[in-house]
A and B are shown apart, each in its own frame.
Chain A
Amino acid sequence: MALDQQQVRDIADLSRLQIDEAQIAEYQKNLSNILDLVDQLSAVDTSAVEPMAHPLDAVQRLRADVVTEENNRDHFQQIAPQTENGYYLVPRVVE
């Protein structure tokens, strides 16, 4: 399936990826090739097949409701781009 350039821009936007306008054509070509590759699946009859999300048919384990964590804010915020008074800072968000 071929994507057009606007679709490429839209997917990049949905994925919050800045793509140079000059590169759009290359993305368009490569992504279309990849979609052609995966489109082989459409020929397979899977009507009676249960989708498989995990390799093992395992079920979710449950964790006891216990507080095990302590305050490690300083440790975690050492690697943060920008913090103030314990908050992570981002450009102002409008609600």
Chain B
Amino acid sequence: MEWEVVIGLEIHAQLATKSKIFSGSSTAYGAEANTQANAIDLGLPGVLPAFNEEALRMAVKFGLAIDAEIGLKSVFDRKNYFYPDSPKGYQTTQLHHPVVGIGHIDIELEDGSSKRINVTRAHLEEDAGKSVHEGFNGMSGIDLNRAGTPLIEIVSEPEMRNAKEAAAYFRKMHSIVTYLGICDGDLSQGSMRCDCNVSLRPKGQEEFGTRTEIKNVNSFRNVERAIDSEIARQMDILEDGGKIIQETRLYDADKNETRAMRSKEVANDYRYFPCPDLLPVIIDDNYVEAVRSTLPELPDAKRARFAHSHGLSPIDAAVLAANRELAHYFETAAKIANDYKLAANWVQGDVSATLNRLEISIGELAVSAEQLGRILQLIKDNTLNNGGAKEVFNALVEGKGDGSAESVDKLVDSLGLKQVSDSGAIEAIVAEVLAANPKLVESYLATPEDKRAKAIGPFIGLVRKAAKGVNPQVVMDVLQKKLSEL
């Protein structure tokens, strides 16, 4: 049978507030266990929540970025369940009145086309703590530092049809929240996690098949791999005439397979009801417009501008716009050099290769955008040739610079990379080369006019060997002139 895959994602993004959603504890990552858990975060008797205005503003910002309906009235509910990392025995979340309603984003597919994915809603809620299972003599240790960190949970419509689309959606959301500055996007620290709902149905059938939910997938690559492995698992079962059990599963990246979560075996009845400790959150159009005025240029707009105003190819534009820092780096360098195509080639070439090789982010690269811009300027005014430019770049990567554009010039000098463009100096070198190679000159002169363009090659090599950093175009001109005079 031919199957159609149906995928919906729930993405949890930690909001980059300083303090927690309902308390004044720090949200900083990596502190010693329970040192950032105050009475509210611990759920002590008698404590009450106080809502963080920045969490609200960030959620609204996100809603505007995905062109969503903004909930002018949003209401916090309690979702009741017992788990040791949930100190109050309920999670404060938004069920019926989320802060962000229906919206959408466009994802780019491999064939260069784009696909719209609708977002059902995004709501504010509090993160849970963490359980540590090793090192406590068979017990679990509970760290509530993360408890109460603000999250938005972004729920997509089940509109993705393969794992690649799902990964592209996750990437795009990552790109949007980091552009907005509402989430640091650090997947390794769990700043963004993704729950993948996967089901299969016979092609042509309208009704959805039974779905499973893969919890807490935390990298783009794993989203793709987890979904593919789950699709394969479900397909095996269905092809054998079996039934899919609706359940929550975990992805094991080492084994590249999913397994059912034991803690979620019992279907939970969450008994949602409006949180009586919090009042309805009311905002008006003025508030929304004020937030809208703070929106930065978003990836899609930036991509379009790169393509239309600066003549980049759609793929180049998409790659360069996807990451806010990379886009900023690219644009800074391009503006200095006044050449977007040259900058695009460099950022996607040497810069990206270096990031990959060193496994670092653009922010950690020792070559600043200003330095790259200066290198490109020097290429453009013929001070550097391509080889020289790469040499300077690599020297900077190795730390031989202080971040300033001036240090580029100093390196060019100290490495002797300045290209000789002065035709007088080049004429002298050419004269020497011609004088030293009479046989070559003889054979050149014996070559018919129409084949001389190729025969001039060996002279160029000899000239450049004699003098590093000569401008090849000037060498060519001088050679042609001198040879024609013979």
Contact = CB atoms under 8 A, between A and B. Distances in A.
Report A-B touching, CB under 8 Å: yes
Interface of A: 14, 16, 53-54, 58-69, 71-73, 76-77, 82, 84-95
A67 B26 contact: yes
B130 to A, nearest CB: 10
Interface stretch (B217-225, B233-241, B276-284, B473-481): B276-284
A16 B82 contact: yes
Contacts of A68: 19, 24
A63 B54 CA distance: 8
Contacts, number: 120
A69 B24 contact: yes
Contact of A54 (B23, B138, B276): B276
Contacts of B44: 76
A59 B250 contact: no
Contact of B140 (A53, A54, A61, A89): A89
Contact of A85 (B83, B141, B262, B279): B141
Interface in B263-320: 263, 269, 271, 274, 276, 278-282
Contacts of B271: 14
A89 B18 contact: no
Contacts of B52: 62-63, 65
Contacts of B250: 95
Which of B25, B34, B35 has the most chain A CB atoms inside 10 A of its CB?
Answer: B34
A16 B262 CA distance: 18
B interface, how many residues as a size bin? Answer: 35 or more
Contacts of A84: 136, 141
B33 A65 contact: no
Interface of B: 17-19, 23-26, 32-39, 42, 44, 50-56, 82-84, 131-133, 136, 138-144, 250, 261-263, 269, 271, 274, 276, 278-282
B19 A87 contact: no
A67 B51 contact: no
Contacts of A82: 139
B84 A88 contact: yes
11 contacts: A53-B276, A65-B55, A66-B18, A69-B36, A73-B35, A86-B35, A88-B144, A89-B142, A93-B83, A93-B263, A95-B261
Given A87-B136, A89-B139, A90-B139, 17 more contacts: A62-B53, A65-B17, A65-B18, A65-B53, A65-B55, A67-B18, A68-B24, A69-B19, A69-B23, A71-B35, A73-B37, A86-B33, A87-B141, A87-B142, A88-B84, A88-B141, A93-B263
Contacts of A69: 19, 23-26, 36, 38
Contacts of B84: 88, 90, 93
Closest 3 CB pairs of A and B: A87-B141, A68-B24, A62-B53
B34 A73 contact: yes
Contacts of A90: 84, 139-140, 142
B136 A60 contact: no
Given A63-B51, A64-B53, A91 B139 contact: yes
Contacts of A16: 82
B136 A94 contact: no
B50 A63 contact: yes
B411 to A, nearest CB: 43
A73 to B, nearest CB: 5
A62 B142 contact: no
A66 B39 CA distance: 16
A26 to B, nearest CB: 24
A64 B50 CA distance: 10
Contact of A59 (B35, B53, B144, B281): B281
B35 A92 contact: no
B16 to A, nearest CB: 10
B280 A67 contact: no
Contacts of A87: 33-34, 132, 136, 141-143
A65 B54 contact: yes
Contact of A92 (B23, B140, B282): B140
Contacts of B274: 53
Contact of A61 (B36, B51, B131, B262): B51
A77 to B, nearest CB: 7
Given A16-B82, A92-B133, A63 B53 contact: yes
Given A89-B136, A91-B139, A67 B34 contact: no
